[in-house]
Amino acid sequence: MKQVEIVTAIIMKDHKILTTRRGYGQFINLWEFPGGKIESGETNEEALIRELQEELAVEIIPEQLFMSTEYDYPDFHLTMHCYVCSIKKGTITLLEHNGAKWLDKDHLDTVEWLPANKPVIDGLRVMLTL
C-alpha cells in the first residue's frame, strides 16, 4: 500500500479553529486542516510553512506538535502530523480550497471532515474544554 506523510496546521483565533474545504481531487468538498505533503529534504515545519504559503498565502509559525495520527484510506496509508500554528504575516486567501470556516468546539461536527481528521477533532474538543 502506498504511504503518504503530511503535515497540517491547527490555527486558532478567539477559541475557534480554522478548517478548509478541499477544492479539488478525490476528496473535493470535504473539510480538513490546511497543509500537505512533506517534500524530500524538508522538515515537518518547513513543509508546513511552504504548504500554508501555497494554499492560503500566509506565513505561519509552527508552535508545537499537537498530535500525529495514522489512517488507512482504500488506496493509501496516511501519516498526519498536526501542529498548532499562528499566523505571522498575511491575510488568509483561498488558493486551493473552495471554503473556509472558523469553528468553535461546539460546532466541530457541523462539517463533513475527511476521516483521518476525526481523532484530531476529538483531541481538540478536549483541549478546548480545558
- Topology of domain 2-128 in CATH is Nucleoside Triphosphate Pyrophosphohydrolase (3.90.79)
Residue 123 is assigned to a ligand binding site:
no
32 is in an annotated binding site: yes
Whether 125 has a binding-site annotation, put simply, is no
Domain boundaries, the chain: 2-128
Confidence of residue 130 (pLDDT cuts 50, 70, 90): low
34 is in an annotated binding site: yes
Q: Is 76 annotated as a binding residue?
A: no
pLDDT digits (tens, 9 = 90+) for 38-76: 999 999 999 999 999 999 999 999 999 999 999 999 999
d(CA 95, CA 112): 20
Rounded to two decimals, the pTM is 0.94
